[in-house]
């Protein structure tokens, strides 16, 4: 896999060396066991896979190269390039402006754009309608396009399903940029509907079998299906794709459930005519990070720290998995570690910041699971680790311990 030219301040001295060491040990990524960094009074258990993925590094490289190659030009980001505040704030500090927020609400008027402006498409991609808007202004939307190749893979698979006269069921969050983009690209060639979870999928299945009336479809999915959707006709042939940052196991469970619904409805002999196998749309990085998180759940620890943007879907799913076993704190970075007795963290289900006291146990040694989402720079984990060490007397020097482990 190719390497990318990203700014040095995103590279990590500690975590980066541990990752490089594991990569040499396990180049084919068969071993998902975590890495133990034993610092005496504090023990960190690090996931085998976390941090910047291929698509994120690709987006960062394109964005910073656009800055370097176009001095003096006005440069805009369509929306947050990735869901990490540190990266987006750094780009803004270089003079970039956002056109929209993460929900597609305008932060400026389209009329402010000129044909010689640079507009960067984020890693999530964008809708065909937005592409057309940019073209109408004389701006090539594909000139600085950072759309993740794995997102584009989902679009291509959706297009194939459309050509085969299948309706596309999209597992995703309807308000998320990636799902909005996937829905737009899919709707060009086929009917589409967005399901957010298994509960909605089960209701969709009962609509397909006729256990629930068509009216229930529009109650549930009226704002999340293509115009003119006809449940009686459009749910006879289906295939499932996903927002690439969703829980891979949930996407597979949704596909498996709908496959059984079609089997029950049409019989095994006709199954292939009514259900398309689409497991190839699952993102490798999402799979690796989630598989590595499942390995963390086999460990014993006092707490878990998950670092990433609070609007990051893939990070929220890591939190969701870990909090089933450990006291888990979702933080942007080291600034949320207010003291050895107080932490500010994000309650994802409630979508609000909270403060917790006595978060760091008095026992020694303390064992802490440490990981991050796919849009989080490894250098942030270095800083989190060092901040924790500053709270604990008698901990070994991290630089020395990392050197001893990898050499």
Domain layout of the chain by residue ranges: 8-53+285-406, 54-136, 149-281
Say if 8-53+285-406 and 54-136 have the same CATH topology.
Answer: no
What's the predicted TM-score (pTM) here? 0.89
286 has pLDDT over 90:
no
What's residue 161's pLDDT? 96
Name the burial class of residue 271, with classes exposed (0-12), middle (13-18) and buried (19+) by CB atoms within 10 angstroms of its CB.
middle
3-state secondary structure of 355: strand
3-state secondary structure of 86: helix
**CATH number for domain 54-136, candidates 3.40.50.11270, 1.10.3720.10, 3.10.28.10, 3.40.50.720:** 3.40.50.11270
Task: Please identify every residue annotated as catalytic.
Answer: 178
**Which residue in 228, 290, 384, 234 sits closest to 53, CA to CA?**
290
3-state secondary structure of 233: helix
Give the class (CATH, top level) of 8-53+285-406. Answer: alpha beta
* Residue 1 pLDDT level (bands cut at 50, 70, 90): low
Percent of the chain at pLDDT > 90 equals 82
Task: Indicate the fold that domain 149-281 takes in CATH.
Answer: Cobalt-precorrin-4 Transmethylase; domain 1 (3.40.1010)
Give the tens place of pLDDT for each residue, 248-276: 889 999 999 999 999 999 999 999 999 99
282 has pLDDT over 80:
no
Mean pLDDT of 352-361: 97
What's residue 84's pLDDT? 87
């Amino acid at each position: 896999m190719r390497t990318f030219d990203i700014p040095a301040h995103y590279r990590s001295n500690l975590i980066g060396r541990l990752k490089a060491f594991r990569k040499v040990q396990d180049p084919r990524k068969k071993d998902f066991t975590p890495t133990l960094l034993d610092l005496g009074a504090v023990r960190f258990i690090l996931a085998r896979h976390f941090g910047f993925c291929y698509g994120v590094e690709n987006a960062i490289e394109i964005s910073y190269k656009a800055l370097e190659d176009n001095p003096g030009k006005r440069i805009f980001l369509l929306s947050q390039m990735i869901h990490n505040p540190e990266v987006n704030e750094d780009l803004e500090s270089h003079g970039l402006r956002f056109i929209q927020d993460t929900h597609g609400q305008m932060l400026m008027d389209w009329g402010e754009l000129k044909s010689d402006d640079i507009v960067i498409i984020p890693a999530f991609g964008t809708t065909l309608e937005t592409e057309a808007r940019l073209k109408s202004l004389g701006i090539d939307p594909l000139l600085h396009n950072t759309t993740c190749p794995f997102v584009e893979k989902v679009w291509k698979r959706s297009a194939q399903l459309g050509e085969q006269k299948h309706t596309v069921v999209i597992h995703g969050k309807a308000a998320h940029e990636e799902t909005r983009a996937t829905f737009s690209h899919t709707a060009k060639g086929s009917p589409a509907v967005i399901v957010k979870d298994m509960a909605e999928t089960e209701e969709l299945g009962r609509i397909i079998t006729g256990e629930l009336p068509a009216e229930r479809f529009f109650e549930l999915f009226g704002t999340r299906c293509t115009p003119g959707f006809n449940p009686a006709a459009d749910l006879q042939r289906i295939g499932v794709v996903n927002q690439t940052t969703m829980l891979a196991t949930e996407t597979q469970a949704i596909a498996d459930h709908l496959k059984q619904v079609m089997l029950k409805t049409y019989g095994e002999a006709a199954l292939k005519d009514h259900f398309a196998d689409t497991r190839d749309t699952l993102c490798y990085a999402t799979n690796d990070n989630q598989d590595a998180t499942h390995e963390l759940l086999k460990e014993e620890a006092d707490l878990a720290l998950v670092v990433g943007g609070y609007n990051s879907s893939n990070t929220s799913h890591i939190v969701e998995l870990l909090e089933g076993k450990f006291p888990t704190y979702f933080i942007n970075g080291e600034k949320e570690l207010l003291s050895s007795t107080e932490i500010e963290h994000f309650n994802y289900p409630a979508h609000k910041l909270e403060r917790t006291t006595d978060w760091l146990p008095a026992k020694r040694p303390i064992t802490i699971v440490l990981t991050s989402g796919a849009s989080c720079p490894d250098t942030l984990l270095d800083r989190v680790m060092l901040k924790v060490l500053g709270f604990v007397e008698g901990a070994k020097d991290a630089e020395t311990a990392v050197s001893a482990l990898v050499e």
